[in-house]
């Protein structure tokens, strides 16, 4: 709780940067990826969300499999290594739709890594089909699912979820679905949405729960702190997180999640400048080119239409870090000699009182 509430931002940043550099040196990862949202139609009605539309609503869209493949094809060439696929909880789209979609994408882009469907989406598909999550995941894996994103975790505390996402999978269930995903051989990321109605103790509790599950499964590759964007949501009266909270949350994650290898400074939500600073507050990943991101963009995000690889590398170099293009599983696209090995134990420096 001290790190979560301290006013000594630079001291916390120094500690987190020490850990970051012990783990990764100056290396900062990015990838060349494209987002694909097959639908924004959603049966949930989350106060935090500006992306979703009710079934039959005028703002809704739902792609056929053929349309989704063509939308992806507009921006995918052999330099793109990942499709990040998430969407709404559509009452008419079942497991079969995603099986067909993944097979069609793999047929069109055989080299692509499909990172798709949050734990919330998997849980919804399971309930809709009246099938165990295990069966749903195995079917999707057979169809081409390679890993899962980390969204939908929000804040695990029930009292917070009741205010921001009361129609969505519980925090406890999110963790259970993640456990199942990992047990079936798929990696995933994990997230935390901060800067809304939660308190510092909720953030700490959330990170503890992720850390405990990671101890058991080892399936989380990366933690992504997600800064809340209130515009166009039912929580638009809230100011959103401060720059201090952005950096403090990144640092807190790096210090608490010693068993999760990577911490991401998600430039889409942080903006370019804060993301650059976060590379010295514990983060070692800037995400990717992120073509056609719509979820944060719908909530007033100004950085959501993608970034060229050269611009990503420029931002990383300006922050005095070394850019390394990776694939989804954090393998460098070009072998890099001397990448630092992860030490078994890190002793933090003592800050002056």
Annotated binding site for S-adenosyl-L-methionine: 154
- Specify whether the CB–CB gap between 292 and 34 falls below 8 A: yes
Could you give the C-alpha distances from 59 to 8, 36, 56, in angstroms and in order? 45, 17, 9
H or E stretch at 310: helix 309-318
Binding residues for [4Fe-4S] cluster, by number, are 42, 46, 49
- Specify whether the CB–CB gap between 276 and 32 falls below 8 A: no
H or E stretch at 263: strand 262-263
Strand ranges across the sheet with 322-325: 285-288, 27-31, 322-325
Q: Are strands 187-194 and 147-148 parallel, antiparallel or unpaired?
A: parallel
Q: What is the DSSP string of 39-105?
A: B-B-S---TT-SS-B-TT-TT--B--HHHHHHHHHTT--TT--EEEE-----TT--HHHHHHHHHHH
Could you give the C-alpha distances from 16 to 247, 251, 346, in angstroms and in order? 10, 5, 11
From 221, 214, 279, select the one nearest 246 (Cα to Cα).
279
Q: How many helices (H) and strands (E) does the chain have?
A: 14, 10
Binding residues, by number, are 42, 46, 49, 154
Quick check: helix, strand or coil at residue 264? strand
Q: Report, in this order, helix, strand and coil percent for the chain, each rounded to 5.
A: 40, 15, 45
H or E stretch at 192: strand 187-194
């Amino acid at each position: 709780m001290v790190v979560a509430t301290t006013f000594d931002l630079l001291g916390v940043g120094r500690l987190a940067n020490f850990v970051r550099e012990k783990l990764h040196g100056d290396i900062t990862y990015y990838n060349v990826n494209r987002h694909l949202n097959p639908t924004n139609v959603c049966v949930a009605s989350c106060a935090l969300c500006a992306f979703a539309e009710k079934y039959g609503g005028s703002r809704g869209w739902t792609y056929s499999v053929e349309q989704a493949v063509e939308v992806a094809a507009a921006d995918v060439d052999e330099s793109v290594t990942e499709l990040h696929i998430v969407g709404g909880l559509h009452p008419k789209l079942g497991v079969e739709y995603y099986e067909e979609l993944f097979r069609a994408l793999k047929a069109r882009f055989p080299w692509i890594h499909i990172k798709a469907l949050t734990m919330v989406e998997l849980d919804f598909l399971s309930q809709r089909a009246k099938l165990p999550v295990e069966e749903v995941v195995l079917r999707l894996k057979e169809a081409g699912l390679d890993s899962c994103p980390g969204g939908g975790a929000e804040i695990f505390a029930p009292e917070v979820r009741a205010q921001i996402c009361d129609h969505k999978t519980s925090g406890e269930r999110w963790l259970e679905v993640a456990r199942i995903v990992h047990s079936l051989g798929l990696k995933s990321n994990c997230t935390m949405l901060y800067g809304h109605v939660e308190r510092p103790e909720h953030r700490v509790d959330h990170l503890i729960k992720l850390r405990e599950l990671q101890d058991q499964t080892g399936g989380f590759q990366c933690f992504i702190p997600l800064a809340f964007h209130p515009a166009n949501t039912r929580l638009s009266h809230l100011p959103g997180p401060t720059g201090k909270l952005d950096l403090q949350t990144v640092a807190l994650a790096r210090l608490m999640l010693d068993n999760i290898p990577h911490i991401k400074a998600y430039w889409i939500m942080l903006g370019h400048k804060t993301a650059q600073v976060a590379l010295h507050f514990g983060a070692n990943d800037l995400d990717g080119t992120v073509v056609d991101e719509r979820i944060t963009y719908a909530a007033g995000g100004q950085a959501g239409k993608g970034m060229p690889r050269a611009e990503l590398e420029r931002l990383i170099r300006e922050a005095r870090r070394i850019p390394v293009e990776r694939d989804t599983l954090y393998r460098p696209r070009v072998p890099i000699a001397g990448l630092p090995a992860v030490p078994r134990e890190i002793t933090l420096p003592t800050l002056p009182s």
